[in-house]
Structure 1
Amino acid sequence: MDIESLREYCLSKPAVEETFPFGPETLVYKVGGKIFLLCSLDSDSLQFNVKCDPEKVIELRERYDCVQPGYHMNKKHWNTIVVDGSVNNSLLKEWIDDSYDLIVASLPAKAREQLKGKK
């Protein structure tokens, strides 16, 4: 996965907005106004932060070397994924999907209903 395929994948999800609230070097994807993925544009290798179920966060870090505690994020809920080729794109997409789904589930019921109509 490269930055362009990451971008395309995130934007293919319903109601996603691409923003730069932290400056031009940090790409941020939101749904319902809440962040589900952040990506540094000034690092040598592609890496991004995704939200994760606290029950899985430690398990993923222990199982995969490319999964680290969320850089500049709440370590209980966020992981940093280093795209180093050690896991396949489908697993990377699964982690992105999980993050998106966690954020959607946290939205008010009315916002979730509006999202269903956009699928």
Structure 2
Amino acid sequence: MSPQNQRLNLIEEHLQAMMGVQLEFPFGPEPKVFKVAGKMFAWTAVKDGIPVMTVKASPGDVAFLIDEFQDITPGYHMNKRHWVTVRLNGQVEQGMLEDLATTSYTLVVRKLTKAKQKSLGFTE
């Protein structure tokens, strides 16, 4: 397995390990769409031969990430102000990929009702 595909597998395992996550395939076999409480917070796919992950981020973080990392671009087919796409080809370290995924999950869960947050074990 290529290092890129290993990174994809690791980040998909991280995404699926979060509380209440559902994996769906609304567009066919790709992309894999990760949702919590029916709301998407990430998707993964292979684009132009390179595994990618698209996640939600705050607008300030989006601008910073795009400026600082060549492998982070505005969200592919998403709102460019709130989403980024990350190429999983090695520039962005695994820990940062996991932080981006966790932040995306948190941004979505924060918008849920307090009861739904509690059912997910979410506390801040």
**Matched AA of 2:16:** L
- Identity over the aligned pairs, expressed in percent? 32
Match of 1:113 among 90, 99, 118: 118
* Native 8 Å contact 1:104 1:112 kept in 2: yes
- Pair 1:79 & 2:84 matched: yes
Q: Which residue of 2 aligns with 1:56?
A: 61
Q: Distance in 1 between matches of 2:74 and 2:14?
A: 23
Alpha-carbon distance in structure 2 between the residues aligned to 1:43 and 1:100: 26
Cα RMSD for the two superposed structures? 1.4
What is the CA distance between 1:7 and its match in structure 2? 1.8
SS in 1 for 2:12: helix
Contact 1:49 1:81 in 2 (8 A): yes
Q: Which has the higher mean CA deviation after the structures are superposed, 77-86 or 33-42?
A: 33-42
Moved over 2 A (4+): none
State the alpha-carbon separation in 2 of the partners of residues 6 and 23 from structure 1.
20
For this pair of structures, how many residues does the alignment match? 117
The amino acid of 2:14's aligned partner reads Y
Where does 1:64-103 land on structure 2 (aligned, <5 Å)? 64-103=69-108
Match of 1:18 in 2: 23
Look up the SS of the partner of 2:110 in the other structure: helix
Give the structure-1-normalised TM-score: 0.91
- Structure 1 partner of 2:3: none
Q: Which amino acid aligns with 2:38?
A: G
Instruction: State the TM-score, normalizing by the size of structure 2.
Output: 0.88
What residue ranges of structure 1 are gaps of 5+ in the alignment?
none
Once the two structures are superposed, residues 46-98 of structure 1 have per-residue CA deviations (whole angstroms, 9 ceiling, x without a partner) of 10110001121101100111110000000010000011211210011110011
- Structure 2 regions of 5+ residues with no counterpart? 1-5
Offset of residue 43 of structure 1: 4.2
Q: CA contact under 8 A between 2:75 and 2:84: conserved in structure 1?
A: yes
